[in-house]
Amino acid sequence: MVAFLLSMENLKDFFIKHQLQIEAKKFLIAVSGGPDSMALLDLIRHTVTDPTNQLLVGHFDHQLRPDSYLESNLISNYCKKYNLKLFEQRWSKQEQPERGIEAAARKFRYAFLKELVQQNQVDYLLTAHHGDDLIENILLKLIRSGNVKEMNSLIEMGQFEDTQAYLLRPLLKYSKTDLLHYVKVQQLSYIQDSTNFEDKTLRNRLRHHVIPLLKNENKKLIKNANRFQVSEAELAESQNILFKNLSNPQRRYFTWTGNLSDLQELRLNQKKLYFEWLTLTKFHQQVHFESLEEKANFRTKKDGIGLILYQNKYYLYREKDLDSEQIRPFKVYLDKIFNFKGKNYLISKQKLGLQQVGSFYSKENLSLKVGSLPEGQKLVLATGNKTKAKKKFAEKGIPNILRSNCLTILSDDGNEEVQYIMNVYRRQIFDPAFIEYRVYEI
């Protein structure tokens, strides 16, 4: 077993700390060919008991430099030497944008790693982010947004996107110097990316000029950065617990919706944080709404995410998911399944062992049509008077943009009298001869 250098602990301590099993687990190591990832790969190889069967190596060639093939050759030689499985992918020049190439590269790289995780039932994805990267990340986010949550995006352990795997960063407590010392002592080959020495990007300027000055001010800067990361994670977890216990939003009308009264204990800015948290939880997207206003009809949009506060309801949705199409009423038959807005329904006089979502009373042998509520349609009250449908929608807290999604049942007798609107209205005039019609979701 290799002796660990300087103050670097055996990587097994990392797994013990996080209560993660090593035996019989499958690891995917993201390797670029640089000193950091080669050190991580070598450390993990000495940590697991069966490297050949437990380790997968993933290399994404960004093809941003003419000599990027050298990294592929280096990693391939290492994997052949130790009989490790290597998976590689090249980033097509046609897929590379003219702007925002760093973010695009990350997107394609992680899509490649996610595919490997899913196809190979990987338990742990490991990246070689170290303490200097952590400092860089905190400073970058401080400069660009000042958002504390973004400053804490590099954490030691977290779930990897929508997979069963954990994303692990076991080197955050160690410096670039520690890793360079490791590869030197272990005589590991590596390739330095020449673009890392240029000052074109903000990250590199921080790395070359700012961080060395900060380290001179305090030799424990990496330790402090880790303390910041842990403290913020603990605060985020406390917030997470609070918001989880506040309410249980339901999936309805292609949105996540709930009652604003469930959030009444929160101040206005805390409600904004709640909706940002809900966006991240439900859509896995980080959004910061610019503002929030306490009024009966408030709408805002940010980065493809919409938020509506209407009466006592809130609705959170992705714009690309929202279906506001008006469905023209079409004929249906009792006990025959029909589809409305992607869901299957059935209307029956019988009690069935299905999920009943509503009912209404009307005359027997009623011919029926279903669809979105036609514009200008009025609803009959128990008194026989008629009222505008928008009043009933407003009473139920359903904004105009979502009303086409409310399943409406009408009589198919020329009058097209509204019998039922899901979650909004059902025929209010009663006659002893009327029978009950039940609406089921299949």
* pLDDT above 60 (res 173): yes
* pLDDT above 60 (res 1): no
Query: What is the DSSP pairing of strand 408-411 with strand 355-362?
Result: unpaired
Q: Are 173 and 11 in contact (CB under 8 A)?
A: no
* pLDDT above 60 (res 3): no
Mean pLDDT in residue range 314-337:
96
Mean pLDDT in residue range 402-414:
95
The CATH class, in words, for 11-232 is alpha beta
Helix (H) or strand (E) holding 241: helix 221-246
For the chain, give the mean pLDDT. 92
Mean pLDDT in residue range 153-169:
92
Alpha-carbon distance of 30 to 45, in angstroms, equals 13
pLDDT-based confidence at residue 195 (cuts at 50, 70, 90): confident
* pLDDT above 80 (res 50): yes
Fold (CATH) for 247-318: 3.30.465
pLDDT of residue 27: 98
- Phi, psi (degrees; rounded to nearest 5) at 413: -130, 20
- Choose the weakest-confidence range: 8-17, 79-88, 380-389: 8-17
Who contacts 116 (Cβ-Cβ below 8 Å, separation ≥6)?
A: 28, 56, 58, 87, 122
| Token output for 151 | 């400053």
- Choose the weakest-confidence range: 36-40, 266-270, 287-291: 287-291
Q: What percent of the chain shows pLDDT beyond 90? A: 76
Mean pLDDT in residue range 7-30:
87
Helix (H) or strand (E) holding 362: strand 355-362
Mean pLDDT in residue range 270-292:
92
Of 358 and 5, the one with more pLDDT:
358
Helix (H) or strand (E) holding 179: helix 176-185
pLDDT tens profile 294-312: 888 999 999 999 999 999 9
- Phi, psi (degrees; rounded to nearest 5) at 27: -110, 135
pLDDT-based confidence at residue 9 (cuts at 50, 70, 90): low
Alpha-carbon distance of 376 to 121, in angstroms, equals 55
* Upper half-sphere CA count for residue 421 (Cβ side, 13 Å): 24
Mean pLDDT in residue range 7-34:
88
**Residue ranges of the domains in the chain?**
11-232, 247-318, 330-441
Mean pLDDT in residue range 394-419:
94
Mean pLDDT in residue range 39-52:
95
- Choose the weakest-confidence range: 130-134, 195-199, 220-224, 239-243: 195-199
Alpha-carbon distance of 293 to 300, in angstroms, equals 10
